[in-house]
């Protein structure tokens, strides 16, 4: 079999009504091609988004050429494959129509032999406007379907929401953290395959039973033969060889045979072991010659979603190789509004950053895309579990037969594409639709039901159940047998089966989204009260750093209420909410750049409180995924890493709060300070717990040391002290409690606790001494010391990269060593360190 791949440079594009062709890139999209050709300005800059809404109202045309030899043309099969077309596309080969596509998430395969010819062939892709395509569907329906996050006003559509009619990334139509750029384009690879004889179309390693002693597997090899065929099928992995004779009829056949691997190297998520991977190579042989081959990489593991009844309701956790996993991580959205701009390096930075922050799970949220293959490959390699949503979010969807059939094919394509990845922990039907509709609670939900007549309600709910209670779970069971399916997030499970009801305040069963902090303007301390069995969403916003803000704004835009700053804030009253919470918890920033940094500290403190509240409740609570790890454009948002990959304070806080062995100090119980030891390790740890009280000048006021043992996979209180017994008359605004976990000469963890809020603390102005103690290809190492308490020590450099720690508190007598890790170090040379700047919170107020 031979394959021909189209080169990105060999494409041109134009608006359909225009005459002149312009150079284009494939994979790509219209917006970025227009920008590269100087037709539009940089989309993210200032308010340029508003001037570019005309693009999605037009039809566009892409054209490329490919060469075919007589041999290729005479092959048994000649197949054109589009791995992704965004979204409504008519495809022509030499002017002959060969495909009409209507789903961004599907793979399209077309036999083009009738239209192809020897020599030069012309491929034309006519992209129809998604807005013009779907407005008539809305008019025909006669009433609106709910889609709260869509931004039709920005697109000049008034109140006409159309995103739910297109099988296209919902976030393209705007969200409460993202702009409205309704793209069109050829967004994944295009390739041409010419083949004869037989070929292997797919290899699936079904994991029937995996234990440390034995992996019992079934290899499913999908073979297509041009004519009847006899030969040998071989499968090789890790030095083992399996063979069987096969006879094939013309057409597609799925061959199965059982495999056993003794004492398999198991795939583990980060923190529990190595993410071991196997390569399985399948090949077809005839007369001693190899005719076709294909390979897949997978990891051998047992993965279950455990929902077991208990006295509280019904639990919810992932069990990996028989071990309950406390999920630590965040929600992931697409890394760019223009997804083809995301490079392998950007994906790698995100997954490495997740692993560096001690995360073991990311949730691929349902308003984006089924991610690129490299995303899952990296999660496999770094041991990051993936909660995988299907691409449905915060909307009611139509239920025509054509629409439902399209969804079924979309589900098949993506389950088959991803099912070999060991990182996939579960499939989830949608984001927040069950809770928004709340079918069995007339007063529940988001008020959606009240917009419809009784007849319309019945029909809409029937359409919902057809998708999420029938089509999607049946697809998972058929194409990934044994994989877990969860219909909606959040969802309760009071009966042990699929629930018909949920609210974001339900805590005893299922998974939970808690947004009382932020949307309901509840105080941070409420995180301690609202703890569910698995916290799959919660969060708090901040601004990115000054460099990032200046990438989209001028100095004249530097105020909360400027039009540009409001355009880069998509949550209703988001800037006001940040300011409102800052007034509660923090002193007044001295200027706008200081406000940006302090907003990050505020966000980090909020999410830290939530994470530690969740981890302290293990095993009642078995997961905490904050919203969100990343951004799709430079914006004020819930992200812990901004659009340019720069870690905010939140990501550094998460790294400390997600440590596998961690101290957590709870001072919210009246009159007491309770110290917890939390362990995600599989072995017990014996250490010493040192608790000391210091004034801000560093003077030791009290110190105790006690043995402390952390049992595996558990949280427990190891010390409870009275506030009065600790302070003994000392000013609560001028002292700090330090808890350290010590083993031999190592500090396993260290946490601070203050007896007054950040706003009330009487902070001295510190002098921070910095010494460069090492340098090399990996980065520079610095030793920091101070004369008085330096709170929120903030390190920054001109180079792109991250520190091993940042936004930390530094006390006299407790020096700290920090390493800077550059993203792109110069050839063999480490950064000079001359650009290092050190500040603390007293520099910001």
First to last CA, the chain: 68
Q: Let me know: does 386 contact 379? Beta carbons within 8 Å.
A: yes
Buried b (16+ CB within 10 A) or exposed e, 515-525: ebbbeeeeebe
- Report which of 325, 339, 317 is spatially closest to residue 268, judged by C-alpha positions: 325
- The Cα 811–Cα 695 span in angstroms is 9
Q: Is 230 one of the annotated active-site residues of the chain?
A: no
Q: Let me know: does 96 contact 46? Beta carbons within 8 Å.
A: no
Angle at 405 between CA 402 and CA 409, to 5 degrees: 135
Q: Let me know: does 152 contact 160? Beta carbons within 8 Å.
A: yes
Q: How far is CA 720 from CA 481, 615, 666, in A?
A: 48, 18, 10
- The Cα 304–Cα 317 span in angstroms is 8
Alpha helix (H) residue ranges in 100-183 = 130-141
In sequence order, the 6+-apart residues with CB closer than 8 A to the CB of 253 are: 222, 223, 224, 225
In sequence order, the 6+-apart residues with CB closer than 8 A to the CB of 693 are: 700, 701, 702, 703, 726, 727, 730, 735, 736, 737, 738
Furthest-apart CA atoms within the chain: distance in Å: 93
- Report which of 77, 91, 88 is spatially closest to residue 30, judged by C-alpha positions: 88
- The Cα 421–Cα 275 span in angstroms is 11
- The Cα 13–Cα 28 span in angstroms is 11
Bridge partners for 330 per DSSP: 362, 626
The DSSP code for 469 is I
The DSSP code for 788 is S
- The Cα 833–Cα 737 span in angstroms is 33
The DSSP code for 842 is G
Any idea which residue has 């427990």 for tokens? 716
- 36 three-state secondary structure: helix
In sequence order, the 6+-apart residues with CB closer than 8 A to the CB of 690 are: 703, 704, 705, 738, 739, 740, 741, 742
> Tokens for 268?
């583990």
- The Cα 141–Cα 134 span in angstroms is 11
- 427 three-state secondary structure: strand
- The Cα 424–Cα 417 span in angstroms is 12
Please spell the DSSP secondary structure of 645-702, one letter per residue: S-B-HHHHHHHHHT-SEEEEEE--STTEEEEEEEE--SS-EEEEEEEEEEETT--EEE
Buried b (16+ CB within 10 A) or exposed e, 456-477: ebeebbebbbbbbbebbbebbe
Residue 781 is inside which H or E element, if any? strand 781-786
- Report which of 228, 285, 235 is spatially closest to residue 257, judged by C-alpha positions: 235
Bridge partners for 202 per DSSP: 222
Give me the catalytic one of 432, 605, 785, 819: 432
In sequence order, the 6+-apart residues with CB closer than 8 A to the CB of 793 are: 768, 784, 806, 807, 808, 809, 810, 838, 839, 840
> Tokens for 832?
């000079």
- Report which of 558, 569, 588, 536 is spatially closest to residue 638, judged by C-alpha positions: 569
CA 780 to centroid of chain Cα atoms = 30
Q: Strand 361-364 vs strand 385-389: parallel, antiparallel, or unpaired?
A: parallel
Tell me which residues are annotated as active site. 432
């Amino acid at each position: 079999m031979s394959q021909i791949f189209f080169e990105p440079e060999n494409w041109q594009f134009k608006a359909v009504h225009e005459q002149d062709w312009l150079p284009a890139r494939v994979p790509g999209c219209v917006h970025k091609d227009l920008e590269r050709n100087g037709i539009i300005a940089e989309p993210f800059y200032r308010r340029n988004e508003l001037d570019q809404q005309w693009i999605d109202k037009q039809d566009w045309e892409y054209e490329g050429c490919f060469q075919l030899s007589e041999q290729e043309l005479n092959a048994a099969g000649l197949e054109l494959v589009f791995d992704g077309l965004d979204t409504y596309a008519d495809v022509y080969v030499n002017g002959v129509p060969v495909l009409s596509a209507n789903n961004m998430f599907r793979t399209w395969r077309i036999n083009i032999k009738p239209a192809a010819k020897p020599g030069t062939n012309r491929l034309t892709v006519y992209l129809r406007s998604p807005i013009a395509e779907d407005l008539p569907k809305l008019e025909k329906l006669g009433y609106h379907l709910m889609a709260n996050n869509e931004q039709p006003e920005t697109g000049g559509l008034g109140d006409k929401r159309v995103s739910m009619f297109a099988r296209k990334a919902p976030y393209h139509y705007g969200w409460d953290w993202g702009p409205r750029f309704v793209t069109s384009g050829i967004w994944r690879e295009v390739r041409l395959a010419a083949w004869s004889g037989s070929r292997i179309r797919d290899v699936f390693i079904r994991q029937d039973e995996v234990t440390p002693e034995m992996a019992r597997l079934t290899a499913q090899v999908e073979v297509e033969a041009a004519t009847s065929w006899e030969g040998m099928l071989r499968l090789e992995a890790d030095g083992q060889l399996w063979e069987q004779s096969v006879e094939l009829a013309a057409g597609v056949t799925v061959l199965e045979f059982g495999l056993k691997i003794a004492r398999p190297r198991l795939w583990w998520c980060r923190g529990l072991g190595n993410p071991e991977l196997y390569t399985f190579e399948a090949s077809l042989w005839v007369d001693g010659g190899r005719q076709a081959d294909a390979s897949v990489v997978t990891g051998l593991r047992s993965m279950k979603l455990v929902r077991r009844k208990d006295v509280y309701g019904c639990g919810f956790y992932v069990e990996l190789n028989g071990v309950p996993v406390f999920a630590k991580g965040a929600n992931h959205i697409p890394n760019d509004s223009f997804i083809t701009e995301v490079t392998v390096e950007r994906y790698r930075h995100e997954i490495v950053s997740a692993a560096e922050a001690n995360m073991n799970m990311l949730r691929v949220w349902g308003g984006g895309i089924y991610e690129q293959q490299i995303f899952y490959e990296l999660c496999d390699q770094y041991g990051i579990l993936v909660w995988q949503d299907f691409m449905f979010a915060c909307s009611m969807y139509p239920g025509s037969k054509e629409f439902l059939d399209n969804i079924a094919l979309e589900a098949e394509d993506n389950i088959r594409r991803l099912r070999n990845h060991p990182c996939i922990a579960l499939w989830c039907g949608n984001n927040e639709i069950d809770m928004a509709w709340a079918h069995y609670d007339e007063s529940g939900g988001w008020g959606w039901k009240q917009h419809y007549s009784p007849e319309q309600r019945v029909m809409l709910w029937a359409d919902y159940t057809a998708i999420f209670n029938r089509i999607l779970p049946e697809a998972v069971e058929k194409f990934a047998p044994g994989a877990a399916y969860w219909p909606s997030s959040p969802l309760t499970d009071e009966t042990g089966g699929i629930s018909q009801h949920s609210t974001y305040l339900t805590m005893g069963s299922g998974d939970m989204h808690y947004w009382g902090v932020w949307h309901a303007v509840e105080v941070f301390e409420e995180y301690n009260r609202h703890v569910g069995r698995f916290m799959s969403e919660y969060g708090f916003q901040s601004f990115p750093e000054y460099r990032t803000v200046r990438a989209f704004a001028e100095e004249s835009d530097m105020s909360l209420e400027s039009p540009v700053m409001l355009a880069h804030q998509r949550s209703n009253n988001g800037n006001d909410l940040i300011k409102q919470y800052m007034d509660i918890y923090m002193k007044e920033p001295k200027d706008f750049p200081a406000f940006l940094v302090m907003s990050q500290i505020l966000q980090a403190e909020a999410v830290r409180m939530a994470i530690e509240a969740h981890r302290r409740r293990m095993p009642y609570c078995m997961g905490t995924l904050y919203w969100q790890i990343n951004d799709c454009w430079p914006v004020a948002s819930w992200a812990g890493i901004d659009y340019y990959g720069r870690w905010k304070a939140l990501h550094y806080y998460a790294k400390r709060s997600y440590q596998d062995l961690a101290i957590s100090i709870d001072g919210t119980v009246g009159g007491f300070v309770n110290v917890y030891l939390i362990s995600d390790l599989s072995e017990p740890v014996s250490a010493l717990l040192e608790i000391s009280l210091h004034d801000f000048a560093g003077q030791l006021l009290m110190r105790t040391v006690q043995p402390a043992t952390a049992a595996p996979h558990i949280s427990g209180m190891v010390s409870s002290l009275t506030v009065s017994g600790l302070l003994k008359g000392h000013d609560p605004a001028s002292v700090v409690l330090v808890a350290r976990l010590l083993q031999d000469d190592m500090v396993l963890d260290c946490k601070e606790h203050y007896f007054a809020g950040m706003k009330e603390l009487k902070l001295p102005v510190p002098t921070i001494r910095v010494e460069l103690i090492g340098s090399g290809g990996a980065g520079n190492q610095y030793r920091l010391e101070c004369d008085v308490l330096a709170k929120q020590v903030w390190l920054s450099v001109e180079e792109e990269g991250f520190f091993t720690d940042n936004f930390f508190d530094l006390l006299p007598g407790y020096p700290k060593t920090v390493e800077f890790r550059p993203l792109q170090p110069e050839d063999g040379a480490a950064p000079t360190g001359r650009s290092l700047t050190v500040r603390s919170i007293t520099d910001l107020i």
